[in-house]
Amino acid sequence: MAVRAAFAGSGRRSPLVQLVGVSRQIVELREEIERVARSDAKILITGESGVGKEVVAQCIHVSSQRSTTNFVVVNCAGLPETLLESELFGHVRGSFTGAYRDKPGKLEMAHEGTVFLDEIGEMTLRMQGLLLRFLETGELQKVGADGGGRVVNVRVIAATNRNLREMITQGTFREDLFYRLNVICLDVPPLRERREDIPLLVDHFLQLLTRDKGCVVRAIAADATNALARYDWPGNVRQLVNVIERMAITGRDPIATIDDLPAEVRVNGAVGFRPKHERRRTVADDLYKRLTEEHESFWSCVYTLYMDREITRGTLREVIRTGLEETRGNYRIVARLFNLEARDYKRFLNFLRKHDCQLPFKEFRR
């Protein structure tokens, strides 16, 4: 585990922390961040590698009342268990070879701030047990210390690109820890599902990366921007940053063209190229199929999952949006499509309104 970034917020939103994007998903995510920043509830951030999970965690911290204290990042992958335990909880002098003095753990350093536990799915079962105990008591059990230690107040945000539910089934992730961490779940969608964000992200990183006076490139030609927008980005935003950085370093003219792009992006982002999987199936797609093809009732499938916090508000909205698209914005037909009795129509609308999921029907009428 390495502590990759720890910063004390200034109380204002740091200009370095910005969730760039204009897509509906990112706009909704920003709203969700503002909402969840008001509480201290634990958050689990999910999403493929490189989508911006850490950026989301930082945004929550700087928008919260804890913004003037520390945001401490702990990467739970890649370190032997004993070192991770000491990094998280600290150790006392002499507790193992090389422990020459007492050392505070990252949880202690994050007191009154936020700790971001990245790649939580990589923790061993024993570490998961230790973390669970800490989450239940707030008490730090330092390596080599007898008895209970200091109680700290930290907000915990965890992230993973693994499917923790699958891991629970396989017995590699503790279900009780999952429910502790998953009080609020934010899912960051892959870049290929929000292509509208690509031109803006390209501009954003180009500005950042070409500030250096030695950099010749100042802008990107339209053909290159189009190829960037069509490419599938398996490595998501991180891969995009790398491509722009490479362009900025190697480009010899002020305006970079398609020839300055890596071959992979040039070929797969070309007009007419169709990737095998245009779009990954989402949870919302599966639920919609259960409703419309397997004739499950909205109450027994979507409603129950949402109330149990098994699916997010974003997923619920996606299901409703698909229904509205199918019925040209007619909620009554959506209700029928979702196998609801006529007398349940009002209850259905009330539920959507209460949870901020009643999308305006007008935009689907066209």
Ligand X SMILES: Nc1ncnc2c1ncn2[C@@H]1O[C@H](COP(=O)(O)OP(=O)(O)OP(=O)(O)O)[C@@H](O)[C@H]1O
Binding site for ligand X (CB under 6 A): 18-21, 47, 49-55, 118, 161, 237-238, 241
Which helix (H) or strand (E) is 179 found in, with range? helix 175-181
Q: What are phi and psi of 183, to 5 degrees?
A: -65, -45
| Residue of this chain nearest to ligand X (CB atom) | 52
Q: Is 248 helix (H, G, I), strand (E, B) or coil?
A: helix
Give the one entry of ligand X, Mg ion, none that residue 51 binds, where binding means its C-beta sits below a cut-off of 5 to 8 angstroms depending on kind.
Answer: ligand X
Smallest gap from residue 108 Cβ to ligand X (A): 24
**Angle in degrees, 0-180, between the axes of helices 81-89 and 125-137, rounded to the nearest 10:** 10
29 vs 227 by CB, closer to ligand X: 29
Region of 105-113, 118-126, 230-238, 341-349 interacting with Mg ion (CB under 5 A): 118-126
Smallest gap from residue 95 Cβ to ligand X (A): 30
Which ranges constitute the DSSP H helices of 221-341? 222-230, 236-250, 263-268, 283-292, 304-307, 313-326, 331-337
Smallest gap from residue 234 Cβ to ligand X (A): 12
Pick from 285, 127, 267, 105: nearest CA to 193: 285
- For the record, the structure tokens of 349 come out as 């609308």
Smallest gap from residue 39 Cβ to ligand X (A): 22
47 vs 323 by CB, closer to ligand X: 47
Region of 28-36, 50-58, 63-71, 219-227 interacting with Mg ion (CB under 5 A): 50-58
Residues 291 and 249: their CA atoms lie apart, in Å, by: 51
Which helix (H) or strand (E) is 158 found in, with range? strand 155-160
Query: Which residues, other chains included, contact 88 with Cβ-Cβ below 8 Å and sequence gap of 6+?
Result: 1, 74, 105, 106, 107, 127, 130, 131
18 vs 137 by CB, closer to ligand X: 18
26 vs 287 by CB, closer to ligand X: 26
Give the one entry of ligand X, Mg ion, none that residue 72 binds, where binding means its C-beta sits below a cut-off of 5 to 8 angstroms depending on kind.
Answer: none
Pick from 227, 311, 306: nearest CA to 44: 311
52 vs 269 by CB, closer to Mg ion: 52
Give the one entry of ligand X, Mg ion, none that residue 172 binds, where binding means its C-beta sits below a cut-off of 5 to 8 angstroms depending on kind.
Answer: none
54 binds Mg ion (CB under 5 A): yes
Residues 304 and 310: their CA atoms lie apart, in Å, by: 8
Q: Is 236 helix (H, G, I), strand (E, B) or coil?
A: helix
Smallest gap from residue 224 Cβ to ligand X (A): 19
Give the one entry of Mg ion, ligand X, none that residue 23 binds, where binding means its C-beta sits below a cut-off of 5 to 8 angstroms depending on kind.
Answer: none
Neighbours of 29 (CB within 10 A): 23
49 vs 182 by CB, closer to ligand X: 49
Smallest gap from residue 17 Cβ to ligand X (A): 9
Region of 47-55, 139-147, 308-316, 323-331 interacting with Mg ion (CB under 5 A): 47-55
Smallest gap from residue 191 Cβ to ligand X (A): 8
Helices vs. strands in the chain: H and E counts, helices first: 16, 10
137 vs 207 by CB, closer to ligand X: 207
Q: What are phi and psi of 185, to 5 degrees?
A: -115, 130
Place of tokens 């990245």: 118
Give the one entry of ligand X, Mg ion, none that residue 50 binds, where binding means its C-beta sits below a cut-off of 5 to 8 angstroms depending on kind.
Answer: ligand X
Give the one entry of Mg ion, ligand X, none that residue 123 binds, where binding means its C-beta sits below a cut-off of 5 to 8 angstroms depending on kind.
Answer: none
Smallest gap from residue 51 Cβ to ligand X (A): 4
Using CB under 5 A as the criterion, which residues of the chain lie in contact with Mg ion when the complex forms?
Answer: 54, 118
